[in-house]
Amino acid sequence: EKIIMNTIICPSICGIVTFFIKPHIVPAPMPVRFDFQGITNGILAGLVTITAGCDIVETWAAFLMGILGSIVYCLSCRLMDAMQIDDPLEASQVHGFCGIWGCVAIAFFSKDLGIFYGHEKSGELLGKQLLGCLCIIAWSGGFSFIFFFLAHKMNKFRLSDKDELIGGDLHYFGPLEC
């Protein structure tokens, strides 16, 4: 029961908060009436945030984790824009940054071992969660580097200027050129 509640509450509040705060944190280049990508990615950010701890946090914690997950998502969008890193789906922000937040949040919100509950080994849990995050970053970053390095060397990393202009869908799935 609690797992279902937490898995509904966290993404719901994360999506709602993102709807209201993202335009103030990451201004759109053009006026937008409704940021559909922002609200859907906010919901996904909440799902990623709660995944690691949905069974070990209280419902109030899932609510707070969702609010904080929205802030993490929005700030990471701003960071990626400032670094001029092209991630049009915002997958790094949703899965990377919010995934790290979700793992670290366990050390604070876990009802059995969390810092907010005053457990004597909560600092040890925080260290383990941070080490786990570093291992995941090293693993996924290492394999991503290998993939992108090989793709670059094989000239498969980017589309040609013409294909980029007409779009990847037509390049990959459109009619063959004769």
Q: Please give the C-alpha separations between residue 8 and each of 3, 17, 51, 138, 152, in angstroms, as whole numbers.
A: 9, 14, 11, 31, 41
Compute the mean pLDDT over every residue in the chain, rounded to the nearest whole number. 93
pLDDT digit string, tens, across residues 67-86: 999 999 999 999 999 999 98
> Per-residue DSSP letters for 78-136?
HHHHHTT---TT-HIIIIIIHHHHHHHHHHHH-TTT-GGGT-TTHHHHHHHHHHHHHHH
Torsion angles phi and psi, residue 110, rounded to 5: -60, 125
Determine contact, residues 55/3, Cβ cutoff 8 Å.
yes
Phi, psi of 88 (to 5 degrees): -65, -25
Interval 103-136: pLDDT, tens: 999 999 999 999 999 999 999 999 999 999 999 9
- In angstroms, the CA 76 to CA 87 distance is 11
pLDDT (0 to 100) of residue 178? 44
Give me the pLDDT at residue 166, please: 84
- Tokens 């701003």, located at residue: 78
Residue corresponding to tokens 């070990």: 56
List the end-to-end C-alpha distance of the chain, in Å, as a whole number.
59
pTM: 0.86
pLDDT at 177 over 80: no
Q: In this structure, what token pair is assigned to residue 69?
A: 């997950």
The type of residue at 137 is: I
**Pairwise CA distance, residues 115 & 105, whole Å:** 10
8 A C-beta contact, residue 64 and residue 114: no
